[in-house]
Chain A
């Protein structure tokens, strides 16, 4: 190798170094360390940690709370992903066209995203309070009886889903808005000339043009369905009886309330594997259907 190309290699690695250091320190090393830790028992001052192989994973499969939490997370994902994406597309289409006070409408839709989740949760705690809360006060005007929204295991997960959709739909709307702005108006004009309805135009043309954005938003929504658990700390703490507990919240509980980092590592490994599978699946299957310009 010539001296010049060696120097170029060195430059290359130096430029790569900062990003590499961060990635290794905060992503790759913790992942491997967590995987390693999941094969050991939890050590205490009286009893140091020892290698136990797959025992933690067996314990996890036996754990009723883990299955409850996994099921909750599945419902949470199914509840939040399609609805928030659909809502985002709708909102984007609406504020994209000619609209008086367009900026105000866009800001109104985006405001939930700006608020921190903890603040949002504190507000919604009082929305959901039975009798004196906003939702019960409004429903009472229509003659419905008051309901213990957060205290009823059958409605609590739905309430959490509503808050998440409320929070992330505005965020996804921004991406769709940007994509819609770059669509050539000739397409819509041509469709109008041909006599196509707006729904037909959306279904056959616009939706496919928006596919790259949809793929991006879908990935974000999937990540959020595992990541957005902050509201649980304020609203339900996973209750009643784990009816609203989600995987990441359970991991936090195990790691920091029960101080059992070995089991928490086990759960984290499961979370990582699930996310990896979904990511791979998304890129493999959906990439074929995405038309890039």
Chain B
């Protein structure tokens, strides 16, 4: 009896060992990826679809794509996971988090992960304007995924009603003011329709980056240790923004809420709105009127910051995981896929050859607004990004809001912000 027991025990052990050996040979690489969604629409479903396609083509890689809220939340979650010992291997995070992530020692440069000459060339195959926020110290740290520019949405029906040419939206600051005055419809003390709305909550520094660039001024340098908040051209840009509400009356005075702006536009409360191109598909689906999309108006030149999220690979991962992450990133940024992403959301196709694919070519032909953000890349500049980026950004946000609500003059507000930013950035120079 004991002999039989021993015999079966031996067989069981052998079977267990064999099966263990087999499974360890077939162990998939596990990737965890956090990604944010910053615009309206069912984007999580689209991401899940793309990831499922990747897993089908690569059965030895398992991807767990976790929706992480907005850009702030995604960064917090990814860094918290890092500290807790169960890090993600890659994530989509704000393009401007780059200095913060480098300072925390959280990410690796793509130059250290790519091996073949092809892969090295791949790093240069994206739109240069989109790579500005992802490059520093001569290396590439972020690869564009969901990138945008600000565009000007306008209500063509409202233009016609006001006697303006719907195919000729304002192209300069003066034209914007003139059109806005015609489009603003008053009803006693109330305003039924505002001429324009530029949101000043949520991401006010982003909108302001556009105005400053249009006035020929960037907000920071390429090394992340200097800001130009109190340059004369910057102050002029903030004075112009304020004047739209307080002097010309084409925009509500005070701050304008980012979260309700799209609703305001769709309900006809404003004839023009400045918003991310990532809203394009949602606006297209829900607009009950004829609308158009145009590049932002120029003052000394046209200008817009880029926006959106890049792919980052985390340092705390094995070489195998880094290689798998690179594979996933290359898959998700293939011309066909970034084109598909662009069509479903309104974000930019991140590379020129995406716009040469038949699907995106046909889409752009049938829906020209989809190409506005791409055409505007020619005039685009990097989004505000420095060391201590959270604090510096908040300084500028507070300055903008205090100027727009009238509690400080633009010159005073920006001067104070610049002084504090200098104090923070001094030690990085």
Tell me which of A126, A131, A140, A242 has the highest count of chain B C-beta atoms within 10 A of its own C-beta: A131
Proximity string of chain A (218-243) to chain B, C-beta cutoff 8 Å, 1 when within and 0 when not: 00000000000000001011011110
B189 to A145, Cβ gap below 8 A?
yes
Q: What residues of B have a CB within 8 angstroms of the CB of A153 in the complex? A: 405, 407
Residues 127-142 of A contacting B (Cβ, < 8 Å): 129-132, 140
Proximity string of chain A (78-115) to chain B, C-beta cutoff 8 Å, 1 when within and 0 when not: 00000000000000000000000000000000000000
Interface residues on B, range: 35 or more
**Of A126, A131, A256, which is within 8 A of B72 by CB?**
A256
Which single residue of chain A is at the shortest CB-CB distance from B428? A46
Tell me which of A44, A65, A152, A241 has the highest count of chain B C-beta atoms within 10 A of its own C-beta: A241
Cβ-based interface call for B111 (8 A) = no
Cβ-based interface call for A210 (8 A) = no
**Of A46, A132, A241, A260, which is within 8 A of B405 by CB?**
A241
A186 to chain B, nearest CB (A): 56
B103 to A132, Cβ gap below 8 A?
no
A156 to chain B, nearest CB (A): 9
**Of B105, B202, B252, B391, which is within 8 A of A130 by CB?**
B252
A150 to B189, CA, bound (A): 19
B344 to chain A, nearest CB (A): 25
Residues 237-273 of B contacting A (Cβ, < 8 Å): 252-257, 259-260, 263-264, 267, 269
B201 to A257, Cβ gap below 8 A?
no
Cβ-based interface call for A125 (8 A) = yes
A240 to B254, Cβ gap below 8 A?
yes
A125 to B201, CA, bound (A): 13
A257 to B72, Cβ gap below 8 A?
yes
Cβ-based interface call for B132 (8 A) = no
A146 to B398, Cβ gap below 8 A?
no
The answer to whether residues A150 and B390 also contact, given A145-B190, A236-B201 and a CB cut-off of 8 A, is no
B390 to A258, Cβ gap below 8 A?
yes
B98 to chain A, nearest CB (A): 14
A150 to B405, CA, bound (A): 11
A153 to B79, CA, bound (A): 33
Tell me which of A44, A125, A129, A239 has the highest count of chain B C-beta atoms within 10 A of its own C-beta: A239
The answer to whether residues A151 and B394 also contact, given A45-B105, A46-B103, A240-B402 and a CB cut-off of 8 A, is no
A266 to chain B, nearest CB (A): 15
Cβ-based interface call for B76 (8 A) = yes
Proximity string of chain B (258-300) to chain A, C-beta cutoff 8 Å, 1 when within and 0 when not: 0110011001010000000000000000000000000000000
Cβ-based interface call for B104 (8 A) = yes
**Of B105, B259, B267, B397, which is within 8 A of A132 by CB?**
B267
Which single residue of chain A is at the shortest CB-CB distance from B397? A239
A258 to B391, Cβ gap below 8 A?
yes
Which single residue of chain A is at the shortest CB-CB distance from B76? A256
Cβ-based interface call for B388 (8 A) = yes
A130 to chain B, nearest CB (A): 6
A118 to B49, CA, bound (A): 29
Cβ-based interface call for B220 (8 A) = no
Proximity string of chain A (147-180) to chain B, C-beta cutoff 8 Å, 1 when within and 0 when not: 0101111000000000000000000000000000
Proximity string of chain B (353-391) to chain A, C-beta cutoff 8 Å, 1 when within and 0 when not: 000000000000000000000000000000000001011
Cβ-based interface call for B191 (8 A) = yes
Cβ-based interface call for B100 (8 A) = yes
Which single residue of chain A is at the shortest CB-CB distance from B416? A64
B103 to A148, Cβ gap below 8 A?
no
The answer to whether residues A140 and B190 also contact, given A45-B104, A148-B255 and a CB cut-off of 8 A, is yes
A259 to B405, CA, bound (A): 28
Which single residue of chain A is at the shortest CB-CB distance from B192? A131
B257 to A129, Cβ gap below 8 A?
yes
A257 to B190, Cβ gap below 8 A?
no
Cβ-based interface call for A188 (8 A) = no
A259 to B402, Cβ gap below 8 A?
no
B103 to A44, Cβ gap below 8 A?
yes
A151 to B191, CA, bound (A): 17
B390 to A148, Cβ gap below 8 A?
no
The answer to whether residues A148 and B253 also contact, given A153-B407, A256-B72, A258-B388 and a CB cut-off of 8 A, is yes
B201 to A132, Cβ gap below 8 A?
no
Q: What residues of B have a CB within 8 angstroms of the CB of A241 in the complex? A: 398, 401-402, 405, 407
Q: Which residues of B contact A (CB under 8 A)?
A: 72, 76, 79, 100, 103-105, 189-191, 200-202, 252-257, 259-260, 263-264, 267, 269, 388, 390-391, 394, 397-398, 401-402, 404-405, 407
What are 20 sample pairs from A and B whose C-beta atoms fall under 8 A apart?
A: A44-B104, A46-B103, A65-B398, A125-B257, A129-B264, A131-B191, A132-B260, A132-B267, A148-B253, A150-B255, A153-B405, A236-B201, A237-B202, A239-B397, A239-B401, A253-B394, A257-B72, A258-B390, A259-B100, A259-B390
Q: Which 5 A-B pairs have the closest CB atoms?
A: A45-B105, A151-B255, A151-B254, A240-B401, A257-B390
